[in-house]
Amino acid sequence: MGMTLTEKILARHAGKDTVTAGELILAKVDLALANDVTAPIAIDAVRQVGVTKVFDREKIALVPDHFAPNKDIKSAEQVKQMREFAKEFGIVNYFEVGRMGIEHVLLPDEGLVVPGDLVIGADSHTCTYGALCAVSTGVGSTDLGAAMVSGEVWLKVPDTLKINLVGKPAKGVEGKDIILYIIGKIGVDGALYQAMEYAGDGLQYLPMAWRFTISNMAIEAGAKNGIFPFDAITKEYADAHAKGKKYVVETVDPDAKYAAEMTVDLSTLEPQVAFPHLPENTRPLSKVGNVPIDQVVVGSCTNGRIEDLRAAAEVLKGRKVADGVRMLIFPGTQKIYLQAFHEGLVDIFVNAGAVFSTPTCGPCLGGHMGILAKGERAIATTNRNFVGRMGHPESEVYLANPVIASASAVLGRIGGPDEL
């Protein structure tokens, strides 16, 4: 019996010729990741074991990004714990403020994740790296702590949902719209503990930035991971960022077994907007209606790449953010921030009335730098819009791509660039 992409990668990391869906395996990890919210619990677990070293100082990444720069005393103490642990155990990939970025944008750009890897992270959006034809998934902090010591993790092999993307995306459609459409069709539990494997001729039109966005939101469909096949687009990105790190290219077997299949014709899609309070509550832009907004957020681990900032800035150029609307820009990393500066994007945003932040998760999880008050509405390029996700439980979050978010900032309501 042939194997899917996820099964092929997991089999190799478990030292087995084959694995099947539902099988429990002990697999070696290539990278173990934690942030300032989840690392302290993992660190406590490591210290309870009483070890004096981790399995590999270069295969652990600690990224303070959720409440960094520190918003209060508690967050400062948590980052201090990370910093001291990294120094004591010689963790190579600790990213201090100034070097840091939003973890799921930072790590692939730094070449710490490459095709064929198995990556675990104490953060649900670790599934982002499936864009690189890697298996990456979120785990609990204690599991992460155990992996930091042993270099291994217990996993149940997921079965796989095959998603065929066909045709060329219609005008205005981006990666965010593709994944929102899929989640809208199958629901937030439609791929529960499955791998979402992408295929089809439509892949040729999906740049890496879009693939990262699509993989990032696999968890919003309940999936264990999302994964794209290795192709010329993957190779170009990997070769540019791997910094000489060797990687393994896996390909799906022709007779691989899938739990289910679905097909999405990209040419028929239009931009999507997810209404409160679930990512599955999607509507095409033409069916949104009149929804006034108070805040716009462009950035996050979902849409904080330079391509996202360029798309948003193109809409804002020569225009102004509507009176009564706040627009916040969160670049994914310091390098992206600097690139946006050199390309003149910062000028465009600031002249339009938007404000820039340092790279941080910020308001995405109701952390800081843009919390919503009672009754306020935000449209955001983030990944979740649960009750109270960005602040007050009686606030609302709508999800959309960067172009729609930017156009909405100018309009003062949810809308697209064709209305400007």
Same domain for 184 and 298, yes or no, is no
Taken in order 301, 140, 100, 74, the sign of the CA dihedral is positive
C-alpha span between 18 and 30 (Å, rounded): 19
The DSSP code for 111 is T
Domain boundary among 239, 264, 289: 264
Q: Strand locations in 20-169, DSSP E? A: 24-28, 31-35, 60-63, 93-94, 118-121, 135-138, 152-156, 159-166
Q: Give the closest residue to 186 by CA, choosing from 224, 220, 227.
A: 220
Q: Tell whether 404 is covered by a domain.
A: yes
- Within a 13 Å sphere around the CA of 266, how many CA atoms are in the beta-carbon half? 26
Looking at the fold, whether 373 and 228 belong to one and the same domain comes out as no
Question: Tens of pLDDT along 378-410?
Answer: 999 999 999 999 999 999 999 999 999 999 999
Task: List, for residues 113-122, the tens digit of each pLDDT value.
Answer: 999 999 999 9
Q: What is the largest CA-CA distance in the chain?
A: 62
CA-CA distance, 401 to 271, in Å (whole number)? 8
* Domain extent at residue 280: 274-419
3-state SS assignment for residue 275: coil
Is the pLDDT at 1 greater than 90, yes or no?
A: no
**Domain membership flag for residue 310:** yes
Q: Specify whether 292 is located in the same domain as 245.
A: no
Residue the block writes with tokens 């599934």: 127
Q: What is the pLDDT of residues 100-140, one digit of tens each?
A: 899 999 999 999 999 999 999 999 999 999 999 999 999 99
**Same domain assignment for residues 135 and 176:** yes
| Residue 166: pLDDT band with limits 50, 70, 90 | very high
Residue 269 belongs to a domain? no
Can you spell out the DSSP letters for 155-209?
EEPPEEEEEEEESPPPTT--HHHHHHHHHHHH-TTTTTTEEEEEESGGGGG--HH
- Predicted pLDDT of residue 243: 84
Alpha helices for 54-125 (secondary structure H): 73-89, 103-109
Looking at the fold, whether 235 and 283 belong to one and the same domain comes out as no
Given a cut of 80, whether residue 170 has pLDDT beyond it is yes
pLDDT (average), residues 222-237: 97
Residues 81 and 178 in one domain: yes
250 & 307 share domain: no
**In Å, how far are 97, 117, 152, 206, 365 from 176, measured between CA atoms?**
28, 24, 33, 11, 18
Report the alpha-carbon distance of residue 305 to residue 288 in Å, rounded: 26
Q: Are 145 and 44 in contact (CB under 8 A)?
A: yes
Quote the tokens at residue 202.
Answer: 């439509």
pLDDT digits (tens, 9 = 90+) for 329-376: 999 999 999 999 999 999 999 999 999 999 999 998 898 999 999 999
Residue pair 292/321 in contact (Cβ under 8 Å)? The answer is no
Does 283 lie in the same domain as 238?
Answer: no
Q: Count structural domains, the chain.
A: 2
**Tens-digit pLDDT profile for residues 142-156:** 999 999 999 999 999
Q: Which of 246, 264, 282 is the last residue of a domain?
A: 264
* Residue at 351 is within a domain: yes
Whole-prediction pTM value? 0.95
